[in-house]
Amino acid sequence: MKKLSYIILSALVLASCGGGSNGSIESVLASKDIAALRAKQAEISGQQRSLEKQLHSLDSAIAQLDDNAKLPLVTTIEAKTEKFDHYLELQGNVTTKQNVLVYPEIAGTMNRVYVKEGQKVSKGQILASIDDGGLSSQLAQAKTQAALAKTTFDRQKRLWDQNIGSEIQYLEAKTAYEAQESMVKQMQSQVAKSTIRAPFSGIVDDVIKDQGTVVAPGQGSEVFRIVNLSNMYIKVEVPESHLPNVTPGKNVHVYFPVLGDSVTTKIRQTGNFINPGNRSFTAEIPVPSYDGKVKPNLTAKVMINDYTNENAILIPQSIVSENAAGEQYVYLVDAGASASEAVAKKAIIETGKTQGDYVEVITGINSGDGIIDEGARSVKEGQKVRIKNGE
């Protein structure tokens, strides 16, 4: 249509150039009069503007009357209500409360190491023994003295029960026996420290000191690392603005990028303290061990379900536009005479939460409305469009 209009315009301009108040173009050019040339130029420019205006009017009239006029092609989607789960995305690391370094309680040479790396151990199981420096012999001697003190006390007690002997003799025997028993218990406690035992059931992750090594209590003298993978969790920092929605029992999707696997779990507990430094609180999320694949300090992507709408209308974010007043809008289709043609109608909407490529519509769209999807950016209010869904 435009090409034809320009052809007609050119023909009319050329036809008009053959005459006029100032003569033909050839005569004006031949005169070499600058004033005449400028006058002829202005005359032809005026004629061209007039003809363009007339052609524009003709184009508009033809477009309105021509049923075969080319209409903008669009696709539409039907607004439907569906369940919408919004997730708060956070980053965290796997940790466990039972990941400890085991230290010796007395100084001495490690006589024997009973376990190796990767071995499963039970709570209280012996891991290693340390030379007690003669404490066992002293304990045996103390037990012998305690046995003698008990025999003396028992005899003195029988005599005292028969009112034989003095009370002071009975009390001296009792005190000696009790003191010796206390010494035995104290020495037993010291000797027990020469045996290193597992503080809980788990796996020996690292044997740090070898057999024959001299060890002593204190920082830097750790002997074993023991880890329990049966009670691991992820601790994440949650912004305080989500405090009302992130609560114990909320569903959580946990994705492990390194493993390429995910798990669904729930929040076990939330912190009772807002960190003033970053205005956040903690949330603790339990995770399974996946047969030992999930390990402490493994990076995890956490998605907490902080909002759910059972009857939400979701639309692609790409079709939402915004006007100068800051209002968001989309174009709906008002069904016309045929199923393939319709008139675009602007609808002001209010949006809610977003998830991925979709946004929740709070108001402005009802279930069943037809929404222009592809071509939404190229249509205007009241414009007739051709719908090509599934063609």
Q: d(Cα 368, Cα 153) in Å, to the nearest integer?
A: 98
Q: Could you tell me what percent of the chain has a pLDDT over 70?
A: 90
Rank 57-71, 260-274, 322-336 by mean pLDDT and report only the highest.
Answer: 260-274
The contacts of residue 258 (CB under 8 Å, 6+ apart) are: 298, 299
Residue 27 C-beta-side C-alpha neighbours within 13 Å:
8
- pLDDT band for position 236 (cuts 50, 70, 90): very high
Mean pLDDT of 322-336: 85
Residue 303 has pLDDT above 80, yes or no: yes
Q: Does domain 107-225 have CATH number 2.40.50.100?
A: yes
- pLDDT band for position 390 (cuts 50, 70, 90): low
What CATH number belongs to 88-97+227-307? 2.40.30.170
Task: Render pLDDT for 7-50 as a digit per residue (tens, 0 to 9).
Answer: 454 554 455 444 444 467 888 788 888 888 888 888 888 888 88
| Element of type H or E holding 382 | none
Class at the top of the CATH hierarchy for domain 73-82+310-387? mainly beta
Yes or no: say if 234 and 95 are a contact pair by the CB < 8 Å rule. yes
* Other beta carbons less than 10 A from residue 57's beta carbon: 10
Mean pLDDT of the chain: 85
pLDDT at 21: 46
Task: Render pLDDT for 125-154 as a digit per residue (tens, 0 to 9).
Answer: 999 999 988 888 888 988 999 899 999 988
pTM of the model: 0.57
Burial class (CB in 10 A: 0-12, 13-18, 19+), 224: buried
Yes or no: say if 342 and 370 are a contact pair by the CB < 8 Å rule. yes
pLDDT at 2: 46
